[in-house]
Structure 1
Amino acid sequence: MFSRRTGDTRRPRCRTPPRGGAGAVTYRAGMQASPSDLTGRARLREAALRLFAERGFAATSARAVAAEAGLSPALVMHHFGSKEGLRAAVDEEVLARLGTALRELDPSGTDLMMSLGEVSARMFGADPVLRGYLRRVLQEDSPASAALFGRLLEGARAELERLIATESGHTDADLEWAPFQMLCLIVGPLLLEPVMQPNLDRPMFDVQVLARRSVANQRLLRLGLFGADPATAGDATDDLRAGAPDSATATRRAQPTVITDNEIPH
């Protein structure tokens, strides 16, 4: 899955304030750290996740992150070395959460789309902060954005290879494009949420909405956009398995149909 990059492995020196006492931290939506992870480093990372999602990386200062976490700005440098190091730690945490969810995909071909819907629900349904972070980062035109997408692509490809090894019926999968398609199905609605949601009567990451979308996606992949006749749907699959047409065939198919005067009804 998503391999963890080598990073700062120093143990944090700051102590976590006791729960309920002075300086105790209230964890809001999007903060999924376990109790054992409530260190100063984790608090800074989760504060950065929230602020980067809300304001963007460029508009968020290390001082603002420290204030959000209730810690000294010096601890940002102590734990992460720089604001860029903090961003890298946030990305690692996001990838770890996504990797955990993707590993729960059902390898059954007939249920794969439903499984993707369930994964989307677990990853994004109750975590608007994670949705906001990924949406903002993936829409950036930056090396960090491209690097994060590349890591997502690596994880999707590894997961598809696992599914292929588990389910022999997937041996003809296109491992160049299938990972892109998987990410489009999972992340695409997340990116379009601001414009899709006003056109829906329920939250688009509601469990029932995701289930219905998963059924529609499954039908689309199996039968095509207009619901091809199941009796002939295999023809398209056979054509795909046969590979792309040769250049002569492709050229012939691309030629416009010429109708002579004799063929025009008068």
Structure 2
Amino acid sequence: MRSPLSQDTADLTSRARVRDAAILRFASDGFDVGLRAIANDAGVSAAMIVKLFGSKGGLREACDEHVFAVVRESKTEVLGGQGAPGAFIGQLARMEAYRPMIAYTLRSIQAGGEHAREFIEHMVADALAYVAAGVEAGSIVPSRDEEARVRFLLGATLGTLLIELSMNPDPKAIETGEFWDRALSRLTLPALEIYTEGFLMDRTLLETYLLYIPDPPERAAGTVA
């Protein structure tokens, strides 16, 4: 699996080096940061960034694409069936390397606007693909409405992290290991409990809801009766 951000800038092309520097800077300071700050981090000129990416918008698109690719690959590795627990533990061990990607995602959502909407829709589309792979592999229970479930799960996960960020009075908290240790510890166990063991002791509320809605979806193949 690829490294989310290279630890050896000497091995990177100028384009990849600038992209990685931009992900780190956007994750830290948001998207109002200027090209000169990113150029300084990457060891190039602002003119070189324009030459490589055309504009700041083009640079951000390249950052988006890289973040999407890393998230898609990591989720597929964990949810793809055999070896998933080992892959999950391995990713926990590498979590520090993933923090800039998660922080970049949170900043993208915080920014709002059309770009944020497109970013979220892309995440939904990618999630539908890797969840479908997990269903096919037998590691995920099918859903009556897969898109609705994916949107809920993304909202629960990212919403939890956004709340943690919003509740922290330190504007630079997102850069600290303390913030991420606390935020991920509050997220991981309850999420895995709900995903694995469920929450309600019986099906009464679900069955009532399915009777209530005008056109209940068919039971997904493979779900427990």
TM-score by length of 2: 0.71
Counterpart residue number, 1:162 = 133
Q: Which of 174, 178, 185 pairs up with 2:149?
A: 178
Going from structure 1 to structure 2, the CA distance change for 1:205 and 1:43 (only over 3 Å counts) comes to: same
TM-superposition CA deviations, 1:162-212 (whole Å, max 9, x none):
2233339834431230110221243233222225679x9x62325xx6552
Specify the code of the residue in structure 1 equivalent to 2:29: R
Pick the structure with greater CA Rg. Answer: 1
Specify the code of the residue in structure 2 equivalent to 1:217: I
Going from structure 1 to structure 2, the CA distance change for 1:115 and 1:245 (only over 3 Å counts) comes to: farther
Structure-1 separation of matches of 2:69 and 2:116: 17
SS in 2 for 1:64: helix
Which 10-residue stretch deviates more, 33-42 or 140-149?
A: 33-42
CA shift for structure 1 position 145: 1.1
Residues 164 and 170, structure 1, Cα contact 8 Å, conserved in 2:
yes
Q: Which of 26, 30, 35 pairs up with 1:62?
A: 35
Residues 9 and 17, structure 2, Cα contact 8 Å, conserved in 1:
no
Tell me whether 1:48 sits opposite 2:19 in the alignment.
no
Structure-1 separation of matches of 2:213 and 2:70: 41
Counterpart residue number, 1:213 = 190
Structure-1 separation of matches of 2:38 and 2:120: 24
Counterpart residue number, 2:176 = none
Residues 80 and 130, structure 2, Cα contact 8 Å, conserved in 1:
no
Q: Which of 101, 116, 119 pairs up with 1:145?
A: 116
Structure-1 separation of matches of 2:98 and 2:139: 35
Structure with greater helix share of residues: 2
Q: Which runs of 5+ in 2 are unaligned?
A: 170-178, 216-225
Identity %: 25
Q: How many residues align?
A: 200
Structure-1 separation of matches of 2:90 and 2:112: 27
Q: How does 1:231-246 map to 2 (within 5 A)?
A: 233-239=202-208, 242=210, 244-246=212-214
CA shift for structure 1 position 52: 1.2
Structure-2 separation of matches of 1:169 and 1:70: 44
Structure-2 separation of matches of 1:168 and 1:216: 15
Residues 25 and 38, structure 2, Cα contact 8 Å, conserved in 1:
yes
